[in-house]
Amino acid sequence: MIPPDEFRRVLGHFATGVTVITVCDRDGRPTGLTASAFTSVSLEPPLVLVCVDHKAQSYPALVAGKMFAVNILGLEQEVVSRRFATTKIDNKFDGVPFTLSPLGLPLIDHSLAQLECATVNVYLEGDHTILVGRVERSHSAEGAPLVYYRGRYDRLSGPTP
């Protein structure tokens, strides 16, 4: 088995989009975290998954909740990604414009796309939990994605249609 540092270094060669996973806690306060471990699972029904570190501040709210939102960040939202990635800020939504959706989920304004998901399965694996969500509502906008590659934020090269 390879050591964690080697695993992280090798996986850094896989470019990913950047998302912020959001939910409201039991007291109705919005909370969330930056995640690059996100993917689609199925078209019929529409399913996605996200992997959440057990040490994440919003982990208890995500696991206890029945729903979560995926905010796919645009190129201009690096500051938002960094804010939700840190553990040093208690209220990560302070100063971040968001809208509470009809399903009660905090959606980050100006995101490239948003998915509102009902949690259908939760799997504990290693130091993360895999949340599988059925997409109930979605929204998308024009723009370039924020990309993470080899430990830093990046952009796609060349024009995108």
Tell me what the pLDDT averaged over the chain comes to: 94
Tokens representing 119 are 């949690």
Tens of pLDDT, residue by residue over 65-86, are 999 999 999 999 999 999 999 9
Name the percent of the chain lying above pLDDT 90.
Answer: 82
Boundaries of every domain in the chain? 4-38+57-118+135-149
Phi, psi of 7 (to 5 degrees): -60, -45
pLDDT of res. 160: 55
pLDDT of res. 11: 85
Tens of pLDDT, residue by residue over 99-119, are 999 999 999 999 999 999 999
Q: Cα(first)–Cα(last) distance of the chain, in Å? A: 42
CATH architecture of 4-38+57-118+135-149: Roll (2.30)
Residue 30's identity, in one-letter code, is P
pLDDT of res. 155: 85
Q: Could you tell me which residues are beta bridge partners of residue 119? A: 133
Average pLDDT rounded to a whole number, residues 21-42 = 96
Name the percent of the chain lying above pLDDT 70.
Answer: 98
